[in-house]
Amino acid sequence: MPNKIKVGVIGAGAIAEHAHLMGYSKIPELCEIRAICDVNKDRAEEMAAKFGIKEVYTDHKEMLAKADIDAVSVCTPNKFHASQTIDACNAGKHVLCEKPMAINDEECEAMIEAAVRNNVQLMVGFTHRFYNYNQKAKELIAQGVIGKPFMIRVRFAHEGPYISWPAKSNWFFNKELAGGGALLDMGIHALDIMRFLVGDIKDISANLGTLVRTMEVEDNAICTVNFDNGAMGYLEVGWSSKSGILGIEVYGEDGSMVIDYSTPIKIYVDKKKIIGGPGWIELKDCTGGGWDAEMKAFIQSLQNGTPVPVNGFDGLKGVRLAMAAYKSNAEGRKVSL
């Protein structure tokens, strides 16, 4: 068994607690959480007590200089992702940075450059890739179960930060700290899962609005995209939805697939040759995954010296698409990547 990976976490808010600290703490045989940092000392100490972390910092640079760690999670508001990731890379630490990777293309490029120059790995937290049903969907598409995909639809929407997501600091609605609203928050997940399941996107058209809540950034977004391989897709994301349909549909020349995010999770395919049928089939063996799987995949990549499963270029492509969507909305036209 290779040595345990020693981890530090920058930002001790909601995602740190529920995803990163929780995920790392479930694999004590693979890693050890050595240090935590938050500008809010009380919050850092609260998380240190909850997860048994010995070292607490309020300045990430001090943590990077003093703590005996191999890797960090960057779990701060979006504005700080680039500078903190670059500082960590320059200190020789591998990084798992939360999504969106940063708030513009140039920052993402600088982060990738810092990781390459320092010979460290840079992963981006596109959690939806790690849900078992999305892994299964990708596998089935690759097996040709639905034939060549020509259309994908994604809907990820909920009531938004502070209602359905218990953020610990007041930044999600601030343009300067967040960089954008529902599109940069949930839309970036939707754009990434479209790339994951269907392929790279060549152009995007967007319609953004602040429809329900009072805030500087958009609370709803619709985008349509064209893929390099000729497929088309559309997404809807929002921060103001009560209950509704959540999930992904992929339509291929030989069948359809519905990845229903409600409970229980179901995937339906309608081609009988490979997985049985005919008609719609409920796959019951593909729940689970997500944050725990994401943290484990990061740690295992570092231990094994293999590439992380979602890298800086994936993060950059997501941010590039989101920035193109903002441009499309502002200029009222389709934007090519």
Ligand X SMILES: NC(=O)c1ccc[n+]([C@@H]2O[C@H](COP(=O)([O-])OP(=O)(O)OC[C@H]3O[C@@H](n4cnc5c(N)ncnc54)[C@H](O)[C@@H]3O)[C@@H](O)[C@H]2O)c1
CA–CA gap between residue 200 and residue 196 (Å, rounded): 8
Site for ligand X in 40-59 (CB under 6 A): 40, 43
Helices (H), the chain: 14-15, 22-25, 41-51, 60-66, 81-90, 105-118, 132-143, 175-178, 182, 188-197, 272-275, 291-304, 312-331
107, 108, 120, 125: residue in contact with ligand X (rule CB under 6 A): 125
Please, what is the minimum distance in Å from the beta carbon of residue 310 to ligand X? 11
Radius of gyration (C-alpha) of the chain in whole angstroms:
20
- Residue 87 found at the interface with ligand X (CB under 6 A): no
Please, what is the minimum distance in Å from the beta carbon of residue 83 to ligand X? 8
- Of 34-42, 147-155, 233-241, 308-316, the segment contacting ligand X by CB under 6 A is 34-42
Q: What is the C-alpha end-to-end distance of the chain, expressed in Å?
A: 44
CA–CA gap between residue 128 and residue 71 (Å, rounded): 22
Taking CB positions, which residue lies at the least distance from ligand X?
13
34, 93, 94, 99: residue in contact with ligand X (rule CB under 6 A): 99
Of 64 and 283, CB closest to ligand X: 64
CA–CA gap between residue 93 and residue 111 (Å, rounded): 13
Of 42 and 285, CB closest to ligand X: 42
Best CA proximity match to 313, nearest among 134, 101, 118? 101
- Residue 23 found at the interface with ligand X (CB under 6 A): no
Count of residues interacting with ligand X (CB under 6 A): 28
User: 3-state DSSP helix/strand/coil percent for the chain, to nearest 5?
Assistant: 40, 25, 35
5, 9, 11, 89: residue in contact with ligand X (rule CB under 6 A): 11
Of 131 and 251, CB closest to ligand X: 131
Best CA proximity match to 180, nearest among 204, 129, 215? 215
25, 169, 174, 287: residue in contact with ligand X (rule CB under 6 A): 169
- Residue 158 found at the interface with ligand X (CB under 6 A): no
CB 152: neighbour CB atoms within 10 A? 24
- Residue 39 found at the interface with ligand X (CB under 6 A): yes
- Of 161-169, 220-228, 242-250, 255-263, the segment contacting ligand X by CB under 6 A is 161-169
- Residue 93 found at the interface with ligand X (CB under 6 A): no
Q: How far is CA 24 from the centre of its chain?
A: 17
The two three-digit tokens of residue 76, written as one number: 């701060």
8, 23, 77, 252: residue in contact with ligand X (rule CB under 6 A): 77
User: CB-based contacts of 279: which residues, under 8 Å, 6+ apart?
Assistant: 270, 272
Please, what is the minimum distance in Å from the beta carbon of residue 98 to ligand X? 4
Of 186 and 335, CB closest to ligand X: 186
Of 93 and 271, CB closest to ligand X: 93
CA–CA gap between residue 312 and residue 111 (Å, rounded): 8
Residues that bind ligand X (CB under 6 A): 10-16, 37-40, 43, 60, 75-78, 80, 98-99, 125, 127, 165, 167-169, 171, 185
